Amino acid sequence: MSLAAELSGHIPYLRRYARSVMGSQSSGDNYVAALLEAVVSDPTPLKQAEDLRSGLYRMFVKLWSSIDINLRDQSDSDVSEQGARNLHAISPLPRQAFLLTSVEGFSREEAAYVLDVDTPALDALIEQAGQDIAQQVATNVLIIEDEPLIAMDIQAMVEELGHSVMGIARTHTEATEMVSREEPGIVLADIQLADGSSGLDAVNEILQKMTVPVIFITAFPERLLTGERPEPAFLVTKPFEPSSVSALISQALFFREEVKDAA
């Protein structure tokens, strides 16, 4: 298969990434066009890359860092004003780290390769992106968790990102009572609760009354990943890495804002 044929399947996704980095499709496409010209001129970097997709994005990042092609076309209407403002409030490198892992689906190791940094540096960039996003979409968080130490850890993470914890519920009843008094911006929920009740049932009851992003943090992921019903978009398995939870909180809130903007 020719290099052009191999690249063709990646270009639509690279255009999406370029649009998100630049803030407009026209500016992003200018960079993608420049990248393809560079590949035609010298395909060696791509041929030497272990993975074609990672190599392509790595070349794009290097090109984006070295030249200035119409950085922002304010007349471009394909990105919502609020969505672009939220995304561009994130510094360039943290923004790219966030997009690579949260939107483009690269692993931490692959994203670190694309940005030419080590994984600890990538984690720091993602954490910074989370803090930047939180400044734009800070919200109230409901934690449904019956283990006090885990609840305290989650609360500390949430507050470090700049959000407020509206309450920590240990049972189904406590969770629904809290929501009846105040609407959360996001819910972080365990499945197995203190009195034997189900966090999943509590979440389903909450979602009947309002639309809110939910992150499940559970030692029993198999109870959710059954394939028999719509599965959660955001799921963390205990024991968890704090950085993973922080990144998911930012991701869930960021995409909630993008959906609201589109609507």
Q: Which residue ranges make up each domain of the chain?
A: 1-77, 80-137, 138-246
Is the pTM of the predicted complex or chain greater than 0.85?
Answer: no
Q: 235 φ, ψ to 5°?
A: -140, 130
**Cβ-based neighbours of 30, under 8 Å, separated by 6 or more:** 69, 70
Return the percentage of the chain with pLDDT > 90, whole number.
38
At 71 the pLDDT is 43
At 74 the pLDDT is 39
| Distance, CA of 246 to CA of 253 (rounded, Å) | 11
| Distance, CA of 88 to CA of 90 (rounded, Å) | 5
At 93 the pLDDT is 86
Mean pLDDT computed over every residue of the chain? 81
How is domain 138-246 classified at the CATH fold level?
Rossmann fold (3.40.50)
Lowest mean pLDDT among 90-94, 115-119, 142-146: 90-94
Higher pLDDT, 41 or 250: 41
Residue 144: helix, strand or coil by DSSP? strand
Query: What is the length of the chain?
Result: 263
One of 3.40.50.360, 3.30.70.20, 2.40.37.10, 1.20.140.160 is the CATH number of 1-77, namely 1.20.140.160
Please state which CATH number belongs to domain 80-137: 1.10.10.10
Most confident by average pLDDT, 59-73, 120-134, 225-239:
120-134
- Containing 188, the helix (H) or strand (E) segment is strand 186-189
What are the pLDDT digits (tens) for 52-81?
Answer: 999 999 999 988 887 654 344 434 444 444
